[in-house]
Structure 1
Amino acid sequence: MKRELFWAILAPALAAGPVGAAHAADESADSEAVIVTPLSLVNTSDLEFGTLLAGPTAGTVVINPNNDARSVTGGVTAAGSGGQAAQFWTYGGPRQFIYVTRGPLPVLDRVGGGGSMAVSQLTLNGSVFRYLSNAGLLDLRVGGRLQVGANQAPGIYEGDFQITVTYF
């Protein structure tokens, strides 16, 4: 009786073939690390004014460097969420004194041509004179004010600006 029960349980399993064939899939991913040296300045995010709708009158878009808040004036409408201050990490000695300066104000040019917008102000999340932390670090953020023209041509606009940190 035991033998018949054993074969009654085992027979369906043997008839089904191997239990669950194994499958494998391969994929690759990138990995990256940045090691900085003392007296370094590293850009970790860009100044983004976000998606905007230009109206029949000129206006401005302002990004606050302290909290990434975006505000608009005049004929500009903020479309959806978006906008952030640029972020830089500066690395030096513990409690080291620094001075932050910027290059010329940028002009954002339309990709493919046919338009530009001027950044009329770049603002920092603190004084231009600062001390690094006890660990020798500082989270430096840069916001700005973008001048949007009346009926500004739609498209993607890009430009660059320069930040310099002098270590004392």
Structure 2
Amino acid sequence: MASRYALASLFAAAAFLGSANEPVRAQCRLCSTPTTEAEKPEDGTPLRLEVAATLDFDRLVLLGAGNGSATLLPNGERSTSGTIATVSASAMVGTVTVHGEPNRIVRVDLPGRIDLYSVGGSRIAIDRIETDLSGLPKLDAAGNLSFRFGGRLQVSGDSEGEYRGDVPITVDYL
């Protein structure tokens, strides 16, 4: 692992996810020469994440209180079970682009679960997060790699409302 970079936050609202392009870094107050510069690989090209589209389940039709799930796969396929009758036609998968050193192999890590909270304190979760990345993702000749991701939204009880949460995405050069 030559360089480690990128902790982007995706923001979820009723399973809506938005982003921050750069991580927040604090200066080391104990170091003699503090810096806030990102680590750079051998050629000086840092990794950078850009969220091109947000994961958005939009609106779900609930049949009542109880357990249910809505799945939105990276290819756009939708399915529901339990108390969720349908996912809105406006639902979108998330799309992320990584920029960095051309032709470098990278590792992309997403969490296995994302907890989303409403203003009133209710919680739902997105689990089974899936991407359309190959087993060994590689930046192209221009230094770019785009991928899509989706997941399964789990609800239980009376889950009406707007929900938000954070999703850390970590990208490392290999």
TM over 0.5: yes
The alignment yields a C-alpha RMSD, in angstroms, of 2.1
Which residue of 58, 70, 89 corresponds with 1:61? 70
Which residue of 141, 152, 166 corresponds with 2:148? 141
Percent sequence identity over matched residues?
A: 31
Q: Matched residues in 2 for 1:130 and 1:114: separation?
A: 38
How far 1:106 sits from its partner (Å)? 1.3
Distance change in 2, residues 1:94/1:55 (3 Å): same
* Larger RCO: 1 or 2 (CA < 8 Å, sep 6+): 2
Higher helix share: 1
Stretches (4+) displaced over 6 A: none
Are residues 1:154 and 2:163 paired? no
TM-score, normalisation: structure 2 = 0.66
How far 1:103 sits from its partner (Å)? 3.6
Distance change in 2, residues 1:160/1:74 (3 Å): same
Task: Summarize deviations over 1:108-153 as a string: whole Å, max 9, x none.
Answer: 111x214210112211112353111121111122211110114x33
Unaligned stretches of 5+ in structure 2? 1-20, 22-44
Alignment partner of 2:166: what SS? coil
Larger Cα Rg: Structure 1 or Structure 2?
1
How far 1:104 sits from its partner (Å)? 5.8
TM-score, normalisation: structure 1 = 0.68
Which residue of 112, 122, 125 corresponds with 1:115? 122
Q: How many residues align?
A: 130
Q: Matched residues in 2 for 1:44 and 1:89: separation?
A: 7
